[in-house]
Amino acid sequence: MKINTLILTLPILGMSSMALADKVEERTFKPQTAVVERLHHHGVEQNHNEKAPIAKMQSQQKLFNARVMTMQAVAVTCDLNALANASTSSIITEIQNQGTQCINELFSASALTQSQVFTSDKMFAVANHAKALSLTYAGGGNVELEALFLYLRTGFYAEFYNDNVSFATWVTTAVVGAVDAFVANSHFYDDNDGHAKTLNEVIITMDSSEQQHRYLEVVKQWLSRFNESYGAKWNVRSAVNGIFTLLYRGQWNDEFVTAVGKDTDLVTRLSAFTQKQWMIGSDAQYLIVNAASELARLKQYSDTPIQSAVDTGLNAIFSTYTSFGYGDAVWLAAADSVSYYADCNDYGICGFVDNLIGQALSQSYSCSSTIKIRSQNMTVAQHAAACDAMGAEEGLFHTKLATNNTPVADDNNSFLQVNIFDSSDDYGKYAGVIFGINTNNGGMYLEGDPSVVGNQANFIAYEANYANAEHFVWNLEHEYVHYLDGRFDLYGDFNSPTEDVVWWSEGVAEYIANLNDNDAAKETISDGSRFTLAQIFSTTYDGFDQDRIYRWGYLAVRFMFERHYDEINTMLAHTRVGDWIAYKAKTEQWKSSYESEFVQWCDDLVAGAPSNIPPTVQINGPYYGVQNNDVSFTSNGSIDSDGSIVSYQWNFGDGSSSNQANPLHRYISEGKYNVSLIVTDNQGASQSAITTATIEKDSSVGDNILQNNQTVQTNGAQNEQQYFTFAVPQGASELVFTITGGEGDADLYVSYEAAPTETVYDCRPYIGGNEEQCAIDPVQVGTYQVMLHGYNAFENVQLTASYTPATSNVPDVCATQGSRSNGRLNDGEAVCLGNSGPMWFSLADVQSQSGIAITTANGSGDISLSYAESSWPNGNNELAESNNSGNDECIYIANSSQYWGYLKVLGSSNGVSLVVDYNSSGCR
């Protein structure tokens, strides 16, 4: 059967969006997906059926610099025609050969291709083969099984949307057999990411085949079994999250509704899941949020035996968590949903939205009589910068588009309210509740109905470290143009145009926001994915092609402004009065008249783009020196012919680095070290060079290395001198050097860093015999040198150096909370790190602090820290690094000059805690 359709307008993950209403009247509270960074994307409107099966595979995304996200996939060549032409006996081989990436393309394939690929006989054959493989599945993941189940669920997706695809009833029976075989396999609940990739496809297939009622026991088992170990793995989290989609889409399955209405065991387990507080603040938090929302959704099944248990579970949420603060994402998910399906008075939570607005958007800043900012945590300087940006853009807009500052008729949106949350996470938690919107995007402009007097236009956004560094409001410039364009260029509301205007609305927003500074648009000309004017003018949001919507929309708008400005004014005369037929006729004329000119203009744009000349680097090696003595390094001769060198990054080969142009460095040990220098120019181009530093042994330093609290026994002749070294780590105290026992008379000398002599030293006890001690206070980090001088011959003298290691002041938060692998770090807040890197964290307003200390401790394994400002650590911009053996790491930065700091954590570990301290004099 096909579930009846319900079309809603929702944004795509990671994008910003425009929408018609300031409140969505019908809400479905769809489960959240895996949390990802929303980088360098704008949003779209897309018609999406909330009742539809899950679409394409969701893969983990990795952040590799401040502005680019990439999917971890290897390009393959797909042949959808081969899948379409395959027989029931060869379809298995085709799926095996082409794999999941090509099967994924079938979601957006043409209706004809889908009807040829997905027949009842092919689905039946694939289901039977999947069943056979499931019976012998050995765990750890299976790419063939993954592709087979992906094919099956894609088939159900095609059946839902494509009227030419319809399956016999025995297809579902065969698919259920395959799923049942996998569930019955002993590895079904295994705890590893490889298995989870296959598990994910199986759980989605349970839902896509509309068998939500059949797999309620699977849902309950995962609710009970899910623990910190499962929650630490990205693929496992993503797979298990599928159980909430089963509960969500089950609401349109009559058999499911009947079963759930009397399943108090499900309610009990769902309630218990919402009390697994280790997920709060961790990478797994979105699962507990979904659980709270699904628990509240059960209130729609009124007059069923489960209602008392549901109320108990909801009241437990409202008493355990707070509406703003600890666990607020869970509290709000439950409150938002239950207020929709039931009476808020039953839970004593009425008015929580108004309270949330007062807390989450507590700041108010008036830019002008037409713009007001409500924000969560912005400085006065940021508010002013955001206002200045919008003010400057407004002037540019009116000049470029010759609006005469006259709104279109019937537009009452004279006042814009800009709502800015502190982060994308806060946007996700609060914006949906306050504005009734989907928040899997990069922000949203809500135009409302401008013809209504008193209508309030809202732009909802968040701060991000990858946004404009003057104000850090993501998408501000682009979205503000949408407001201006809607008020001064386009008659009616967002849905009024009867012809395609996406190219214009997105293109003009990009053009005014970027003007001629849009390298991404130039790059898309060269990458081979060109579009004609005819294609650009007919662009819609369906299928979402970012290049076509934004880059080529920008190029078409810029082309018309530069070459045919009068034609732009003619077009706007039509759109400002809502004459969409005349608008369509005008663009039809352009696509036939200007196509060849547009192609040449694009070619000229690329050819005329100036290319940056990378800097020339001079490392001036090789270098030579003596241990414990300064070595002078120089970058003299490094130049940038068309700009300036803005950063230097030296790596001295011993774990130390410097960002000075001509640094001094002291090596503690002799040896030959590989030294590198990277110089970067003002346009971001870098060049590197390598050389060596050969460090000779300091003749005054002996070979003996002392270990903490380990005694060595030594003999010496009269006037003989023996040398030892002793390394003292950060935080050590009670440093003591002692000689005792034996015969004769040895004298003890101790110095910090440099080797002592009979006349130069830090400590000499001046005691006859062999009972001498040097207690050092204060203790310094580094190497201490010890000399034993034979005043008389001595033998069997015992030498001991000892210190008390630092006691960690970093709390062991991994014992009480789940792990995190990204996000913002706050002053004094300890977090539990994930098990493997890279992990990425940001620090806000570092320039206002006298010093910033980043300390890690506890657990097992070995990690390293890298810190940069202005952009993410990338191997050549680090300001500080810490790479000690184990997990005790420390980075201290004083006098930062940037608003944002960026931290990268590498290595593998378990149970490591990290804490950041602002205005600190050193690490913990």
Tell me the HSE value of 529 on the side-chain side, using a 13 A CA sphere.
14
Distance CA 411, CA 625 (A): 76
- What would the mean pLDDT of 759-776 be, rounded to a whole number? 92
Phi, psi of 92 (to 5 degrees): -65, -45
Model confidence pLDDT, tens digit, residues 825-849: 889 999 998 877 788 888 888 888 8
Q: Are strands 822-825 and 782-804 parallel, antiparallel or unpaired?
A: unpaired
Residues 294, 341 within the same domain: yes
In a domain, 2, yes or no: no
Residues 62, 211 within the same domain: yes
In a domain, 618, yes or no: no
pLDDT of residue 657: 77
H or E stretch including 742?
none
Residues 404, 328 within the same domain: no
Residues 276, 362 within the same domain: no
CATH at residue 798: 2.60.120.380
Among candidate residues 885, 847, 881, the one with its CA nearest the CA of residue 867:
881
Task: Give how far the C-alpha of residue 217 lies from the chain's centroid of Cα atoms, to the nearest Å.
Answer: 33
Asked if 526 contacts 476 with a C-beta cutoff of 8 angstroms, the reply is no
In a domain, 163, yes or no: yes
In the predicted model, is pLDDT for residue 764 greater than 70?
yes
End-to-end CA distance of the chain, in Å? 62
121-135, 476-490, 584-598, 674-688 — which one is most confidently predicted on average? 121-135
Q: What angle do CA 707, 784, 789 make, to 5 degrees?
A: 90
In a domain, 38, yes or no: no
Residues 329, 459 within the same domain: no
Model confidence pLDDT, tens digit, residues 66-94: 222 323 334 457 899 999 999 999 999 99
In the predicted model, is pLDDT for residue 284 greater than 50?
yes
Give the residue from 350, 378, 412 where a domain finishes: 350
Which residues on adjacent β-strands are paired with residue 733? Answer: 804
| pLDDT greater at residue 553 or residue 472 | 553
Model confidence pLDDT, tens digit, residues 849-904: 888 999 998 887 778 899 988 777 877 788 888 887 667 888 988 878 888 888 99
Mean pLDDT of all residues in the chain? Answer: 85
Give the residue from 301, 323, 350 where a domain finishes: 350
pTM for the whole structure = 0.64
CATH at residue 672: 2.60.40.10
What is the percent of the chain with per-residue pLDDT over 70, rounded to a whole number?
Answer: 90
The two structure tokens encoding residue 38: 């929303």
CATH at residue 394: 3.40.30.160
Model confidence pLDDT, tens digit, residues 476-500: 888 899 989 988 999 888 778 888 8
Q: How many domains is the chain built from?
A: 7
Among candidate residues 21, 71, 27, 67, the one with its CA nearest the CA of residue 45:
21
The two structure tokens encoding residue 889: 């790491």
Tokens 């909370």 belong to which residue?
817
CATH at residue 522: 1.10.390.20
- What would the mean pLDDT of 159-188 be, rounded to a whole number? 96
In a domain, 10, yes or no: no
H or E stretch including 158?
helix 143-161
In the predicted model, is pLDDT for residue 662 greater than 50?
yes
Residues 653, 714 within the same domain: no
| pLDDT greater at residue 764 or residue 469 | 764
pLDDT of residue 47: 41
Model confidence pLDDT, tens digit, residues 605-619: 888 745 557 788 899
Q: Are strands 851-857 and 913-918 parallel, antiparallel or unpaired?
A: antiparallel
Q: Which of 209-223, 572-586, 741-755, 806-820 has the lowest mean pLDDT?
A: 806-820
In a domain, 794, yes or no: yes
What letter represents residue 851's amino acid? G
Asked if 860 contacts 904 with a C-beta cutoff of 8 angstroms, the reply is no
Which of 479, 506, 772, 889 is labelled catalytic? 479
| pLDDT greater at residue 527 or residue 394 | 394
Q: Which of 481-490, 645-654, 699-708, 773-782 has the lowest mean pLDDT?
A: 699-708
Q: Are strands 630-632 and 913-918 parallel, antiparallel or unpaired?
A: unpaired
- What would the mean pLDDT of 216-223 be, rounded to a whole number? 98
Distance CA 883, CA 907 (A): 10
Query: Under 8 Å CB-to-CB from 558, ≥6 apart: which residues?
Result: 507, 511, 516, 521
Distance CA 914, CA 828 (A): 10
pLDDT of residue 513: 86
Distance CA 274, CA 282 (A): 14
- What would the mean pLDDT of 133-143 be, rounded to a whole number? 96
In the predicted model, is pLDDT for residue 56 greater than 70?
no
In a domain, 823, yes or no: yes
Query: Under 8 Å CB-to-CB from 734, ≥6 apart: which residues?
Result: 775, 779, 802, 803, 804
Residues 339, 356 within the same domain: no
Would you give the DSSP letter of residue 764? -
Residues 107, 246 within the same domain: yes
pLDDT of residue 57: 62
Where does the pLDDT of residue 49 fall: very low under 50, low under 70, confident under 90, or very high at 90 and above? low
pLDDT of residue 2: 29
Would you give the DSSP letter of residue 806? P
Q: Is the dihedral of CA 333, 334, 338, 343 positive or negative?
A: negative
H or E stretch including 462?
strand 457-462
Where does the pLDDT of residue 395 fall: very low under 50, low under 70, confident under 90, or very high at 90 and above? confident
The percent of the chain in helix, strand and coil, each rounded to the nearest 5, is 35, 25, 40
Q: Residue 299 is part of which domain span?
A: 261-350
Asked if 728 contacts 780 with a C-beta cutoff of 8 angstroms, the reply is yes
Among candidate residues 10, 457, 53, the one with its CA nearest the CA of residue 249:
53
Give one DSSP letter per residue of 79-110, joined into a string: -HHHHHH--TTTHHHHHHHHHHHHHHGGGGS-
Residues 186, 120 within the same domain: yes
- What would the mean pLDDT of 96-102 be, rounded to a whole number? 93
In the predicted model, is pLDDT for residue 38 greater than 50?
no
Residues 123, 233 within the same domain: yes
pLDDT of residue 685: 65
Model confidence pLDDT, tens digit, residues 777-826: 998 888 899 999 999 999 999 999 999 877 778 888 888 888 888 778 88
Alpha-carbon dihedral of residues 76, 77, 83, 85, nearest 10 degrees?
-170
Task: Give how far the C-alpha of residue 566 lies from the chain's centroid of Cα atoms, to the nearest Å.
Answer: 44
Asked if 601 contacts 563 with a C-beta cutoff of 8 angstroms, the reply is yes
Q: Any catalytic annotation for residue 45?
A: no
| pLDDT greater at residue 136 or residue 872 | 136
pLDDT of residue 275: 97
In a domain, 672, yes or no: yes
How far, in Å, are 161, 169, 252, 451 from residue 1 at the CA level?
12, 9, 11, 42
| pLDDT greater at residue 28 or residue 201 | 201
Tokens 């579930």 belong to which residue?
3
Tell me the HSE value of 717 on the side-chain side, using a 13 A CA sphere.
1
Give the residue from 696, 720, 753 where a domain finishes: 696
Q: Which of 265-269, 290-294, 361-365, 649-653 has the lowest mean pLDDT?
A: 649-653
Residues 536, 630 within the same domain: no
Residues 133, 166 within the same domain: yes
- What would the mean pLDDT of 263-290 be, rounded to a whole number? 96
